[in-house]
Structure 1
Amino acid sequence: MTTLMPIFTTTSQDCSFLQAGPARTLYERLLQPELDANALQEARSFLDEQLVQARALPCEVPTQPEALLEWMRGGAQRTTEAYGQYLQERRQGAPRRYFSNRAHALYFLRHVAPTKLVDGAWLYGLLRHWQELRLRPLLRTYLEELGDGVPAMNHVVLYKQLLAQHDCDELAELDDSHFLQGAQQLALGHLAEDYLPEVIGYNLGYEQLPLHLLITSFELTELDIDPYYFQLHVTIDNASSGHAQKAVQAVLENLPLVGDRDEFYRRVLRGYQLNDLGVGSTAVIAAFDLEDEVCAMLERKREVATQVHSDYCRIEGRTVNEWLSEPGQVRAFLDALQKRGWIRRDEDPQSSRFWQLVQGDRAAMFGVFSSYEQQLLHDWIAGSWAPPRARGRHRRRAAPAVAEQAAGLDDEAQALHAALRGLPAQQQADKLIELMSPASHFTPAGLLATRLFNAYLQ
């Protein structure tokens, strides 16, 4: 059993055609267990640039902090009313608003993964100040993002399992823009002491209940994809006692009594606006084009499959190796397969000879395509075709994987307890906080450290 789960995985063939951009490079540097001074300086420069960009964006937050609670509750009410309207439309026969098919939903899960895999990271740096009561709402929020150390509730563990369940955890080809929000969160978390107002403002924005979270949860269930990660956020971000309420409480309790109160609040608003930078969830959903995704996936496969096919089969006068010999021919190749009847669009994919080569234990190309890639091909071929009976709805939880990870805590638990016994009280707290970083809180040692740290906040 692997006890240390990396944030995301790549393969050599995935990396061969990609150059990591600045956001991803910083994201990966800030996800190391130990950071050097250069990484922190890089994070500071990046964050300052982001705040300059955010300043130009519109801001819906009240100009007076005393109005925040009413604003937050009003926003939550509008969200629930809009969701009620959505449900009514669906009952009257409207199609899904977000996901055209299962492949679309899996595409979404992949492309928002860099953000979801650092859930709560913006609050990490506040742990060192656990004795300050005014920070307690924020600290409680961070610990709840970590599931209070329970594997089955840790948000990163849950999301990693969701990705793995659908073979979506290869993120190497994602565009750099999809790492920007995660890089912001990590930078805020590691520099929280210098950017406290911005951290509080970012938290205020991120913890409001958005309509897309409710719709996503509903439509994932329809597509037989476990919605639990998203349902969990619907409940804990509530405006009554959840993270949304704690976010407002944190703003009000941290406004200075001595000093420039207005400047502090202006910085809170800038932090809030950071939420609007980068590619958000609804933008990811809107960007999906199934045929483009299929072609891009096959183009990546082409780079490692140019000369591995036999030459006995010709399609439109060319061998498969000839079709794959140069970039940019994938779309024409798919057209040729359709002309020859190898692919029958808008029909059951089982009717297509090409699909029969891809799917099944005895398929000639078994193992060439991941489950996610097969879903892309399946839904592209199926098109407007739908099975006679809709997929059954059932929610699949990854309980066995969670239990297995929990069982692996024993060795690390003993080692951590032994290490703590040899440290003074303050260094014990520091050791626990170190293990609760975005780079390690989801590991067995990090989960145990979170449970032990909970005692400090009782």
Structure 2
Amino acid sequence: MSGVHIEIGRPQQAVRQWSAKSIYFSLLESELSARTKAESAAFLARQLSETHSHATSMPATLAELETWLAEHNELVGHQYHEYLAGRKAGQPRRYFRSKSHALFFLRAVAPTKLVDGSWLYGLMKHWQDPRLVSLIKIYLEELGDGVEAMNHVVLYRKLLKLNACEDWKNLDEKFFTQGAIQLALATHTDSHLPEVIGFNLGYEQLPLHLLITAYELKELNIDPYYFTLHTTIDNAQSGHARGAIDAVREAMPVFADASDYMQRVINGVKLNDVGLSTLDIIQQFDMQAEVVRILQSKANIGQFMHSDRCVIGGRTVNDWLKEQDQVALFLQEMEKTGWVKRHHNPEESPFWKVIAGDKAPMFGVFTGYEQQVIYDWIAGEALESQLMLARLGKPWRMVEKQAIAHDEALHKKYGNVYDFRSGHKLTQQMRQANDFNQDQLAFERHVHGIDDEQILMDFLVEWMSPAKHYTPLGLSATRYFKSHMDSLF
């Protein structure tokens, strides 16, 4: 936790300041402690209070939602058309100045994208309630209906892996706020149903930044599929945006206070404003500062790893790295001494040759993301003049195809025993049980051994949590759950 402060007028009472990052990871644990539940509830209440006065374009009546949705999509469509016309006329990318800038963004939004759809999880235990069918359908689709290739979190995890951006857990506190909100809504749905419905309504509307992001990622040789998927699945006619409005109507109370319900829905919509926005995150990127941060992250170990014969600016590299606040000066000295030749082809810089390439002396010290940042920083004003392969790497389709082939080989070797729609054994039996498929086989036996419907669904729902649904067993549970729901509704 980040400490306490004392309220004026209440000198004897300490009020805890919760860390969004701490709450985020606590809410992803298998068993939630009473303390985690209490702190996340207070965190959620504070965010609702702070956003209560925020303005929103959402109407206060159900009858106006259709028009609101249509007008929003028309506006976004016009804005995107203007963006495309500008690009065609020669305007530069609006969001990402370089590939490292785009990768910074992918990494920075990871805490939010890796809990995609989580705000709806608390509804799953109410699977028998027909008022929640639209919302449950949306959650299942966020989970890809149990199909790995369509599960949104699986897709984003693969995107991070392909681009060597998997160290997102080291991000600063400010990048975890929105994800913590989503997980808190999942945890406290029973007391915040209208707010969950409202948050979903706001989140599922197609934003302009999603369209531009997908367009520019593709230009920078980064697979845009995760983002293009959301532009199609969230469509206003038959997608999640449509389902979000249906959900508001389906859960509208018949005898209780409908106006209070709508106000709480609006309060949930406003929770989308919590934390850094997409544009805020894009604007956070400072290439010079990021290079310094990367070198500082290596300093604790690096200060012992270099030969004393390596002297730059009158000091050994080990000496430079002893104090993190000296790293910025170290970079300046590398420029002065020619170790780094800014605004030239990075291949001309000895420092780049030391860290890049399979046979480089420091091979493996810097991740792919970190190397991209350093490459773009060295190239500087000469970046766009570099060869595309050197500047952007291999075409993403080629890299992805290699990864898919590997995954398919594993699936063929350790495939599933049961058809998850029919529940019957496959005609082609899995190979003999081994140490790699024991969990899967035990899961199958357990599921097929449960006769009580409620116990079965409770078990499946547990495996469909934000912390588990993207795992092989979580995907299996999702397929079973969807199969049962399809038979009911």
- Which TM-score tier does this pair reach, normalised by the shorter chain? over 0.9
Deviation at residue 172 of structure 1 after TM alignment: 3.3
Kept in 1, the 8 Å contact 2:457–2:481? The answer is yes
Q: Which residue of 2 aligns with 1:307?
A: 304
**Alignment identity in percent?**
47
Deviation at residue 403 of structure 1 after TM alignment: 3.0
The code of the aligned residue for 2:477 comes to A
Runs of 4+ in 1 over 4 A off after TM superposition: 391-394, 404-409
Normalised by the length of structure 2, the TM-score is 0.87
Q: Which residue of 2 aligns with 1:11?
A: none
**Given the alignment of the two structures, is residue 227 of structure 1 paired with residue 228 of structure 2, yes or no?**
no
The code of the aligned residue for 1:415 comes to A
Kept in 2, the 8 Å contact 1:201–1:268? The answer is yes
How many angstroms apart in 2 are the aligned matches of 1:340 and 1:363?
A: 20
Deviation at residue 421 of structure 1 after TM alignment: 2.9
Give the counterpart of 2:81 among 81, 84, 96. 84
Give the counterpart of 1:24 among 14, 21, 25. 21
Deviation at residue 420 of structure 1 after TM alignment: 2.1
Deviation at residue 92 of structure 1 after TM alignment: 0.8
Q: Counterparts in 2 of 1:447-458, with a 5 A limit?
A: 447-458=475-486
Q: Which residue of 1 aligns with 2:209?
A: 212
Q: Which residue of 2 aligns with 1:325?
A: 322
How many angstroms apart in 1 are the aligned matches of 2:236 and 2:19?
A: 36
Q: Counterparts in 2 of 1:188-199, with a 5 A limit?
A: 188-199=185-196
Deviation at residue 218 of structure 1 after TM alignment: 0.6
How many angstroms apart in 2 are the aligned matches of 1:278 and 1:58?
A: 16
Deviations 1:90-117 (A, max 9, x none): 1111111101001001100011000000
Deviation at residue 307 of structure 1 after TM alignment: 2.6
**Given the alignment of the two structures, is residue 296 of structure 1 paired with residue 324 of structure 2, yes or no?**
no
How many angstroms apart in 2 are the aligned matches of 1:117 and 1:353?
A: 38
Give the counterpart of 1:357 among 350, 354, 359. 354
The code of the aligned residue for 2:479 comes to R
5+ residue gaps, structure 1: 1-19
Q: Which residue of 2 aligns with 1:437?
A: 465
Normalised by the length of structure 1, the TM-score is 0.92
**Distance change in 2, residues 1:148/1:66 (3 Å):** same
**Given the alignment of the two structures, is residue 43 of structure 1 paired with residue 48 of structure 2, yes or no?**
no
Greater displacement, 379-388 / 289-298: 379-388
Greater displacement, 50-59 / 316-325: 316-325
Greater displacement, 427-436 / 407-416: 407-416
Q: Which residue of 2 aligns with 1:403?
A: 408
Give aligned pairs, total.
439
Greater displacement, 151-160 / 302-311: 302-311
How many angstroms apart in 2 are the aligned matches of 1:326 and 1:441?
A: 43
Give the counterpart of 1:114 among 111, 114, 119. 111
Give the counterpart of 1:425 among 453, 477, 487. 453
How many angstroms apart in 1 are the aligned matches of 2:406 and 2:180?
A: 28
Q: Which residue of 2 aligns with 1:415?
A: 442
Greater displacement, 252-261 / 408-417: 408-417
How many angstroms apart in 1 are the aligned matches of 2:170 and 2:48?
A: 27
How many angstroms apart in 2 are the aligned matches of 1:428 and 1:155?
A: 25
**Distance change in 2, residues 1:402/1:227 (3 Å):** farther
Kept in 1, the 8 Å contact 2:120–2:196? The answer is yes
Greater displacement, 225-234 / 418-427: 418-427
**Distance change in 2, residues 1:39/1:283 (3 Å):** same
How many angstroms apart in 1 are the aligned matches of 2:221 and 2:242?
A: 32
How many angstroms apart in 2 are the aligned matches of 1:158 and 1:264?
A: 35
Q: Secondary structure at the match of 2:446?
A: helix
5+ residue gaps, structure 2: 1-16, 417-436
Q: Counterparts in 2 of 1:73-222, with a 5 A limit?
A: 73-222=70-219
Deviation at residue 51 of structure 1 after TM alignment: 0.6
How many angstroms apart in 1 are the aligned matches of 2:44 and 2:87?
A: 41
How many angstroms apart in 2 are the aligned matches of 1:154 and 1:79?
A: 26
Q: Which residue of 2 aligns with 1:240?
A: 237
Q: Which residue of 2 aligns with 1:264?
A: 261
Deviations 1:422-448 (A, max 9, x none): 321210111111110111000111101
